[in-house]
Amino acid sequence: MSTQTTSGLAIETAGLVKTFGETRAVDGVDLAVPAGTVYGVLGPNGAGKTTTVKMLATLLRPDGGEAHVFGHDVVREADEVRGRVSLTGQYASVDEDLTGTENLVLLGRLLGHGKQAARERSAQLLEAFGLTEAAGKQVKHYSGGMRRRIDIAASILNTPDLLFLDEPTTGLDPRSRNQVWEIIRAVVAQGTTVMLTTQYLDEADQLASRIAVIDHGRVIAEGTKGELKASVGAGSVHLRLRDPAQRDLAAELLVRALDAHVQPEPDPVALTARLSAAASNDTAAEQAARALNELARAGVTVDNFSLGQPSLDEVFLALTGHGTGEADDADDRKDEVPA
């Protein structure tokens, strides 16, 4: 089955809305997701990410707007959409009392595979996901990383055209997260489109070709990683001072020299200044050099200095005014409404 549409898009939405009582969980979301890519949906808990995914996967009916998956309307052509997508949610969907093999064979049979074909596909996926040795163990004895891998394996028993991964690495240790990332890359290399929701900025930076930033149910920015980073400045200057008592003076001098926002870091001797592309005709390097000269003339000793493109952390903070882990109580409840 071809994953392409005439527009080359796996997902198109226009003004997508979902409300729960007085809460507007999704508030006019517009998306255009290219086929054959990883598309990141980045936002804090309660931003509306999961609700958006549930509507696209036909688990929730939109209250307004339109959504199409490979050209099929998610309301009028829900069966066609379901035949082309798979969803791995935030929590394991497999049966914890069954073994890895039993879970995959059972799901394979439900999907229409014969008994032998289901066993062969199960063994193939368990090997590919590094779970062969654990195949005969009950899933309740799996580690968090192993549960996420068996969950994703279950999602691709029949290779979907579009795979929704809703915060797939939440709570995992760094090694397990890297394993899941490699699986995602392998799935996309086989031609599947992946929509990845995450609140981890480094995850979106590592995997996604394009990223939509969602906050309070709205898309507040969208683009490639480079475009998003360029939208908030030409670069960032990171400084470590020798004397923490000089940090206030250094911040004042940086603001004056760069006409830039200066952010104190948790480290008492560290500062970050975000350069604005429109602030002057100088390059970022020239602006940074001028600032260092100002600090030296004022007797401020800089032990370490670096100049780089803004991080996604800085992009998100600049766009929303808060970090990805922050949301008020009402927002926290938005994505917890059951399908």
Which helix (H) or strand (E) segment holds residue 90: the answer is none
Residue 245: per-residue pLDDT:
95
Over range 124-141, report the average pLDDT: 94
3-state secondary structure of 10: strand
Beta-sheet strands, E only, within 76-178: 85-88, 162-166
pLDDT beyond 90 at 309: no
% of residues, the chain, pLDDT over 90: 61
Find the helix packing angle between 284-297 and 247-258, rounded to 10°: 140
Lowest pLDDT segment from 81-95, 186-200, 229-243, 320-334: 320-334
pLDDT band of 73, cuts 50, 70, 90: very high
Residue 79: per-residue pLDDT:
97
Mean pLDDT estimate for the chain: 87
CA distances from 314 to 28, 212, 248 (A): 25, 15, 21
338: buried, middle or exposed (CB in 10 Å: 19+, 13-18, 0-12)? exposed
- Range among 130-144, 171-185, 225-239, 272-286 with highest mean pLDDT value: 130-144
pTM value is 0.76
Q: Compute the distance between CA of residue 272 and CA of residue 338 in angstroms, rounded to an integer.
A: 41
Strands 218-224 and 210-215: antiparallel
Over range 244-253, report the average pLDDT: 95
How many CB atoms lie under 10 A from the CB of residue 308?
11
Q: Which residue has the higher pLDDT, 165 or 312?
A: 165
pLDDT band of 216, cuts 50, 70, 90: very high
Q: Could you tell me if residue 23 is left (phi over 0), alpha (psi between -120 and 50 degrees) or otherwise beta?
A: beta
